Structure 1
Amino acid sequence: MDYEIGTVIKEIRKSKNYSQSKVSKGIMHQTNYSKFELGEIEISYDKFKKLLVNLELDIIEFEYLYALRTHSHRQNIIHYFYKLRFIDEEILNQLIKDSTKYLENNSDRFINDIHNVCKALIEVKGDNFDVAKSYGYKIWERLERSDNWYLSDIKLINSILFLFPVETAEHITEFALKQGLKYDHHPEYENIFLPFKYNLVHLLLRGNRIEEAKSLNEEVLHTFKEKKLYTQVALCKLRKGLIELHLNKTESSKGLLENAYLIAEVLNDKELTMKLKKEEIYVNSILSTNA
């Protein structure tokens, strides 16, 4: 355990006006706890977790505070990668630059995977799908051989799911959702696993499996409504309207499109409006190809 952890624990304890004896009670002798804060000894992970309980912290909050305190280069790369929502070229280029610099002096599979994902997404931005796939398959080749995936693996593969053929993407999604069963009580469960189904809709459309895409989109839309995730609701409504317009060409379908843009207007979200326009162009291009 990094000795600086004790320093951060000490700062948190003092900011809460807690004594060493209060924090270490029932876990370890106060003398040993003092040595831990000073970085003179290491402690077991089990004892560390119990200290966090006494400090009213969970491990996620501590890791965040620790990263702020230590200005971890690695943690910053991971943090900004997880914040990435759409293909933002500026953020992707910065992540590529930072990960390249970090990997010059560190052997780190996860940061290397982030680097490859970012390179893939940049190539997608430039419509270089073959090059993008070459980066994406570097990650898939590793994960395909693994019997167990963890949250970091799942977040990585979902960000490039659209690069794979429909059959492969369905297999990835099915396996990821099965792996997700062990995380069903994790606070980030739905934020991590819902995007798989959301991204799979695109792939089903590309595979001309329109009715399946429509059904899955409806399922995802219902969940996003329940959670009041209005950005995702708008995008799903847009998809629903475009699919129904393609299948039935009804006036009600046009109403769904108007509702999607209305959500962005009410939220005064110009970025969402742009995203909806790009989505409309993209989905229409797929549907017209399959017509």
Structure 2
Amino acid sequence: MEKDFGSELKEIRAILNVSQKEISDDFNLISKSSLQRIEKSEQIPAFDVAMKLINRLDVRADEMEYRLNNFSISEKEQLIMDFRDIGSSANITGINHLLKKMNAFLEKEDSDYISSLVLILRSLLVFQEEQNFTNAREIVKPVWEILEKRDEWLYKDMLLIANIIYMFDGTTFETMKKKLLDSIQKNYHLGTVNKLYVVTLMNSVLYMKKTDRFLEAEYELELAITHAKKQKEHVRHLDALSLKAELLWLKGEKDNAVELAKKTFARLYCLEEFDILKDNQEDWEKLTGMDSKEMIKPLTEFM
């Protein structure tokens, strides 16, 4: 059961031993009577006043939200976090599991946002099966048609765009990418926006790869590798290194490519990221004609 703002404010104030006079800046921020009514849950403060009150307590807005939700993350927010943590469009097991959870949620509660995430997950499954953008794009087109009309994208909008950008092409792709990167730069230090930068780079590289412009994506791929490592996004880092191995092969650096592919496949195997490993191995075999299973055979036999 969710708590109310006033009673929680009073509780935190008591924990910190802060008086009503102190939190209200000698009652310049809000009158004594108004503060008392708020703490008795008889009055709801204006948003700007509420933010100033919790700032006086040095409490972050997200911590206050967490406390108001009875020290837990709402089911909806948890689903959004799970979506963000999928890691790769090749994570078929994770996608199917999350789809079931989201559909179950939508049976009891309406949410346009979760419905949009469901469309994206469905499109990822179609893309993985067909290795073609055409049908996958049609599934998420309604998401783009809504977001393209907005002058500015909020965090959750950026999360949607970052995960569909590579399904579009031509002018639409370039428009989405430029606006998304501008939005990410503007909000880079907000929450997990920095992680969306890696997702955007990876999906841009994937688009370039699927449209026969892979070699042009080298700079963005190196950025993705650097930032994924910096942010400890281990699976995305390995996914990016797998792409780098393919790129090295195309550049004629075959010995380096094979060595990097071996290391990357082995690490994905040890992390039990089998869907992503399988997808990367299939791409490697298609490119090189090598048996990728032989590359990690000593490890699989040992395990």
**What TM-score, normalized to structure 1?**
0.80
Residue 71 to residue 177, structure 1, CA distance change in 2 (3 Å): closer
Q: Give the secondary-structure state (helix, strand or coil) at the position aligned to 1:112.
A: helix
Task: String of CA shifts for 1:186-208, please: whole Å, max 9, x gaps.
Answer: 34332122311111111101100
Partner Cα separation in structure 2 for residue 52 and residue 117 of structure 1 = 36
Q: Show the 5 A alignment for 1:95-174.
A: 95-103=102-110, 108-124=111-127, 127=130, 131-165=135-169, 168-174=172-178
RCO higher in structure (CA 8 A, sep ≥6): 2
Could you tell me whether the CA contact under 8 Å between 1:67 and 1:75 is conserved in 2? no
Structure 1 CA distance, aligned partners of 2:284 and 2:175? 23
Counterpart-to-counterpart distance in 2, 1:119 and 1:261: 27
Q: 1:251 to 1:81 in 2, by over 3 A?
A: closer
Q: Distance in 2 between matches of 1:132 and 1:208?
A: 19
5+ residue gaps, structure 1, are: none
After TM superposition, the structure 1 = structure 2 runs for residues 245-284 of structure 1, keeping only pairs within 5 Å, are 245-248=249-252, 250-264=254-268, 268-271=270-273, 274-282=275-283
Q: Is the 8 A contact 2:87 2:235 kept in 1?
A: no
Residue 217 of structure 1: how far off its partner (Å): 1.0
Which residue pairs with 1:91 in the alignment?
98
In structure 2, how many angstroms separate the alpha carbons of the residues matched to 1:24 and 1:36? 12
- Tell me whether 17-26 or 252-261 shows the greater mean CA deviation: 17-26
Q: CA deviation at 1:101?
A: 2.7
- The match for 2:63 among 61, 64, 85 is 61
Q: Which moved more, 1:232-241 or 1:61-70?
A: 61-70
How far the C-alpha of 1:225 sits from its partner, in A, is 3.8
Comparing 166-175 with 191-200, greater Cα deviation is found at 166-175
- TM-score, structure 2 length as denominator? 0.78
- Matching residue's letter, 1:56: D
Q: Higher helix share goes to which structure?
A: 1
In structure 1, C-alpha distance between the alignment counterparts of 2:58 and 2:46, rounded to whole Å? 19
Aligned partner of 2:200 among 191, 196, 200: 196
Distance in 2 between the 1:214 and 1:175 partners?
A: 21
Q: C-alpha distance in 1, partners of 2:124/2:106?
A: 15
2:30 maps to 1:13: no
* d(CA) in 1 for partners of 2:78, 2:237: 30
TM superposition shift of 1:159: 1.8
Amino acid in structure 2 at the alignment position of 1:39: S
The residue number in structure 2 matching 1:222 is 226
- Identity over the aligned pairs, expressed in percent? 20
Cα shift at 1:69 = 5.0
CA distance in 2, matches of 1:166, 1:53: 46
Q: Report what 2:49 is aligned to.
A: 47
Gaps of 5+ in 2: 290-303
Residue 240 of structure 1, CA deviation: 0.8
Runs of 4+ in 1 over 6 A off after TM superposition: none
1:37 equivalent in structure 2? 39
Contact 2:166 2:207 in 1 (8 A): yes
For the 8 Å contact 1:183–1:189, the answer to whether it is kept is: yes
Asked if the contact 1:166/1:204 (under 8 Å) is kept, the reply is no
d(CA) in 1 for partners of 2:287, 2:151: 34
- AA matched with 1:242: E
Worse-matched range after superposition: 45-54 or 222-231: 222-231
Question: CA separation in 1, counterparts of 2:234 and 2:80?
Answer: 26
| Alpha-carbon RMSD | 3.1
Give, in whole Å, the separation in 1 of the partners of 2:267 and 2:101.
31
- Which of 162, 178, 190 lines up with 2:182 in the alignment? 178
Tell me how many residue pairs correspond in the alignment.
Answer: 280
> Is the CA contact 2:117–2:160 (under 8 Å) kept in the aligned structure 1?
yes
Distance 1:186 1:145 in 2: 23
Residues 1:132 and 1:210: Cα distance change in structure 2 (over 3 Å): closer
